[in-house]
């Protein structure tokens, strides 16, 4: 900060209205001289001189999705040396799952059920991104997703509120560390507030049609967890909630975020979501859009420039109180101060960092995210002597390893499957054939694949989605495997060799036939820079799969949205021929693979769930335990899950809800006893008035390997003693 301003407040006193509004205006790095914007390719690029003049005049708070020494230094120097007040710019970007090194996509990391893994990858991403001049990331995404059609499922932590909350919080800690003043840390932004993942029919940008209690119980907790972990910023969502676009939604941006949760950072729009309130049909003009968004609690507008165009006029005619502008500006200046930008506007820039630790972490992370769904007769891991036919559109290709948001990662430096298998086994044991393209046959592809398969002992079949098939604006109505890939798989089934399928995907896919014809099925998501090495580690048994599904895999796409924490119905599904229960007449209503499911190379045998008390007092806790034994003679990492059902409550509660989970190591043929503790606050839920309540009564509790398994124990939460308030709010 210039010496004469000893605090953001003093600085604010010296700012003109235009300079204040400048601090609320963020723009894409549209001053690049060549090449399309990787995220929003339709952007028109400004002449650099034009932006230079804006910076000089204090009309810009910062830029996003540009990086690098030359870019950052050039613009920052103009801001700090040539603008009247020398306020530094902030440089933001979508650092979602890595920067130069790509880590597994967020959905994959959620499958690890190890939030601390995400903390570490976020920390490593921050180290790389800050070295390239960035200060601020537009992550973590904390959008709960129950609909596999939604393309941004890949950016989510899946369908469960607790898993999503723990991962969101862990990522914030990873990006931000102990102090934002650390030049190797990024300020985090939790997004997209709120309920963006509830897009109706899984259609990106669609209305979020959900009840207030579902919003409170399931969709809000992940955002809140990120805020409680200290996220510096919030990004508003594109969708409406209750008919009001989130970007202009006072209930969300002010009542919940600030008044209930005490958030003190700033809120930025998602791209031009402020201006889009006109297209939503809420605002009639850009000026009205600005009035509605700003007064609802949106501090900064991204890209649209509408705040710069209209806030000064709205202040001048008394519609908006200047004190409100000051509050918003102060939030932004405080963030810049917390980042240490006033002392060192070039913080972090240092391209001499060592990339090796990130690559080591990327390989470790990738191994821990894969989910083994099927492994008949111990088909995996492969025997050292096995000759392998690596077949499929992803066998050797290089463009679909990193996942939807690896916009700064170098594809050429990522390890594909062929490279990983070669490094593990050498060329003699391997023959590689694509067989087909991602969504089209290849001339002679199947014949070549069949010949390769016949020459080998085992077929490793690399199928699934291309990188372009999940991500923003990549919703799919058909979430099956492309037909060309299915045809390849069917043809290979006729060669009597075991089939090990590696499924690359950014969402649950509908794969009953593929699952049937595979001897082993390993979901490998988009695992990032070290894909090939990590998959080879798992396939050859140097590491064992330990991931579990963070989203249910449907049998049929007509079941979507399908999720385990569904509300109880008065007519739960009963097996046929029973009619008039919650079944389809044509498809089994259960998922093909449920939430929480996954195998290792060992096998877990769960004992009965036990509680240490049949009844607990209002302020007491119950200990729930279970003994788990490894029975296959192979060490196993098991994700042990604690589920609860509220037997009778004042409103319909889910079939089960995950309340805790822990990944534990069980030695070969060993047993471990796992205990969890539950108290009253774990049993709370939203009441119809928008608050939170715990009700006494009976609860069922499971310790189980997935959401559909196990036999419950029960305990009773006793009513508070007359001296405590009845139905005390939690």
> Which tokens go with 522?
């390993």
Task: Work out how close the CB of 247 gets to ligand BGC at its nearest, in angstroms, rounded to a whole number.
Answer: 12
Residue 161: C-alpha distances to residues 19, 123, 317 (Å): 41, 23, 44
**Rg of the chain on CA atoms, in Å:** 27
Task: Work out how close the CB of 40 gets to ligand BGC at its nearest, in angstroms, rounded to a whole number.
Answer: 6
Binding site residues, ligand BGC, CB under 6 A: 39, 65, 94, 138, 191, 270-271, 472
- Name which of 407 and 716 has its Cβ closer to ligand BGC: 407
- Name which of 138 and 394 has its Cβ closer to ligand BGC: 138
Q: Indicate the DSSP class of residue 468.
A: G
Report which of 455, 457, 520, 464 is spatially closest to residue 488, judged by C-alpha positions. Answer: 464
Is the omega angle on the peptide bond into residue 244 within 30 degrees of 0, that is, cis?
A: no
CB atoms within 10 A of CB 443: 7
- Name which of 96 and 560 has its Cβ closer to ligand BGC: 96
Task: Work out how close the CB of 192 gets to ligand BGC at its nearest, in angstroms, rounded to a whole number.
Answer: 6
3-state secondary structure of 655: coil
Report which of 425, 337, 350 is spatially closest to residue 388, judged by C-alpha positions. Answer: 425
How far is it, in rounded angstroms, from Cα 343 to Cα 86?
Answer: 11
Cβ-contact 61, 187 below 8 angstroms: no
How far is it, in rounded angstroms, from Cα 110 to Cα 376?
Answer: 25
Cβ-contact 462, 499 below 8 angstroms: no
Beta bridge partners, 692, equal: 686
Task: Work out how close the CB of 65 gets to ligand BGC at its nearest, in angstroms, rounded to a whole number.
Answer: 6
How far is it, in rounded angstroms, from Cα 605 to Cα 310?
Answer: 64
Which pairs count as long-range contacts for 1-6, CB under 8 Å and 24+ apart, including other chains?
Answer: 1/337, 1/342, 1/343, 2/85, 2/86, 5/85
- Name which of 155 and 418 has its Cβ closer to ligand BGC: 155
Task: Work out how close the CB of 83 gets to ligand BGC at its nearest, in angstroms, rounded to a whole number.
Answer: 25
Phi, psi (5° rounding) for residue 507? -160, 165
- Name which of 335 and 422 has its Cβ closer to ligand BGC: 335
- Name which of 182 and 472 has its Cβ closer to ligand BGC: 472
Virtual torsion, Cα 714, 704, 122, 94, nearest 10 deg: -90
Return the HEC string of 378-445: HCCCCCCCCCEEEECCCCCCCCCCCCCCCCCCCHHHCCCHHHHHHHHHCHHHEEEECCECCCCECCCH
Task: Work out how close the CB of 249 gets to ligand BGC at its nearest, in angstroms, rounded to a whole number.
Answer: 16
Task: Work out how close the CB of 333 gets to ligand BGC at its nearest, in angstroms, rounded to a whole number.
Answer: 22
Residue 270: active-site member: yes
- Name which of 92 and 712 has its Cβ closer to ligand BGC: 92
- From the list 94, 143, 270, 646, the catalytic residue is 270
Enzyme catalytic residues: 270
């Amino acid at each position: 900060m210039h010496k004469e301003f000893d605090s953001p407040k003093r600085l604010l006193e010296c700012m003109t209205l235009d300079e204040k509004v400048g601090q609320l205006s963020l723009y894409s790095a549209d001053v690049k001289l060549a090449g399309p914007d990787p995220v929003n390719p339709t952007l028109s690029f400004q002449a650099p001189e034009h932006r230079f003049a804006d910076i000089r005049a204090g009309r810009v708070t910062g830029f996003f999705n540009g990086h690098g020494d030359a870019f950052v230094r050039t613009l920052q120097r103009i801001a700090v040396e040539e603008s009247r007040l020398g306020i530094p710019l902030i440089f933001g970007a979508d650092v979602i799952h890595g920067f130069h090194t790509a880590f597994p996509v967020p959905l994959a990391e959620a499958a690890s059920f190890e939030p601390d893994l995400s903390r570490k990858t976020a920390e490593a991403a921050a180290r790389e991104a800050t070295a390239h001049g960035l200060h601020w990331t537009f992550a973590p995404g904390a959008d709960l997703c129950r609909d596999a059609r939604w393309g941004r499922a890949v950016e989510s932590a899946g369908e469960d509120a607790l898993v999503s909350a723990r991962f969101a919080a862990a990522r914030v800690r990873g990006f931000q560390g102990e102090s934002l003043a650390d030049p190797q840390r990024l300020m985090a932004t939790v997004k997209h507030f709120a309920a963006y993942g509830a897009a109706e029919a899984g259609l990106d940008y669609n209305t979020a049609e959900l009840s207030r209690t579902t919003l409170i119980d399931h969709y809000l907790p992940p955002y809140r967890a990120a805020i409680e972990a200290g996220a510096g910023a919030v990004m508003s969502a594109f969708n409406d909630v209750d008919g009001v676009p989130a970007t202009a939604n006072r209930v969300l941006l002010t009542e919940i975020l600030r008044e209930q949760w005490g958030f003190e950072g700033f809120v930025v729009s998602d791209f031009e979501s402020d201006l889009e309130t006109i297209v939503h049909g809420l605002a009639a003009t850009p000026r009205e859009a600005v009035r509605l968004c700003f007064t609802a609690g949106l501090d900064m507008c991204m890209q649209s420039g509408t705040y710069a165009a209209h806030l000064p006029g709205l202040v001048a005619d008394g519609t908006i109180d200047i004190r409100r502008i000051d509050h918003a500006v102060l939030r932004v200046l405080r963030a810049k101060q917390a980042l240490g930008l006033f002392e060192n506007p070039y913080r972090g820039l240092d391209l001499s960092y060592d990339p090796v630790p990130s690559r080591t972490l990327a390989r470790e992370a990738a191994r821990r995210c894969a989910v083994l769904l099927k492994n008949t007769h111990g088909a995996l891991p492969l025997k050292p002597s096995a000759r392998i036919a690596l077949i499929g559109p992803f066998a050797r290709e290089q463009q679909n390893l990193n996942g939807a948001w690896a916009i700064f990662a170098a594809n050429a430096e990522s390890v594909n499957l062929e490279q990983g298998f070669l490094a593990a086994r050498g060329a003699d044991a391997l023959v590689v054939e694509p067989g087909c393209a991602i969504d089209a046959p290849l001339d002679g592809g199947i014949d070549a694949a069949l010949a390769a398969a016949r020459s080998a002992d085992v077929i490793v079949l690399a199928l699934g989605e291309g990188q372009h098939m999940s991500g923003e604006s990549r919703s799919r109505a058909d979430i099956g495997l492309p037909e060309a890939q299915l045809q390849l798989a069917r043809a290979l089934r006729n060669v009597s060799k075991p089939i090990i399928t590696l499924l690359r995907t950014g969402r649950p896919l509908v794969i009953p036939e593929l699952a049937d014809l595979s001897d082993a099925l390993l979901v490998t998501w988009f695992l990032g820079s070290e894909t090939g090495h990590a998959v080879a580690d798992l396939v050859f048994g140097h590491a064992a799969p330990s991931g579990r599904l963070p989203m249910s895999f449907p049998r049929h796409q007509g079941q979507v949205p399908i999720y385990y924490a569904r509300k109880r119905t008065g007519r739960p599904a009963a097996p046929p021929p029973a009619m008039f229960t919650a079944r389809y007449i044509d498809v089994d209503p259960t998922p093909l693979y449920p939430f929480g499911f996954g195998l290792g190379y060992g096998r877990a045998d769960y004992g009965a769930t036990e509680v240490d008390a049949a009844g607990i007092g209002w302020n007491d806790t119950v200990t729930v335990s279970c003994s788990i034994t490894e029975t296959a003679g192979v060490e196993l990492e098991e994700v042990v899950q604690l589920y609860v059902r509220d037997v009778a409550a004042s409103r319909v509660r889910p079939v089960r809800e995950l309340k805790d989970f822990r990944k534990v190591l069980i030695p070969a043929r060993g047993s471990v006893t796992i205990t969890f503790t539950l108290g009253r606050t774990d049993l709370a839920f939203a009441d119809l008035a928008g608050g939170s309540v715990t009700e006494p009564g009976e609860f069922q509790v499971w310790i189980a390997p997935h959401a559909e398994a196990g036999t419950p124990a029960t305990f009773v939460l006793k009513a508070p003693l007359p001296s405590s308030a009845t139905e005390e709010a939690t």
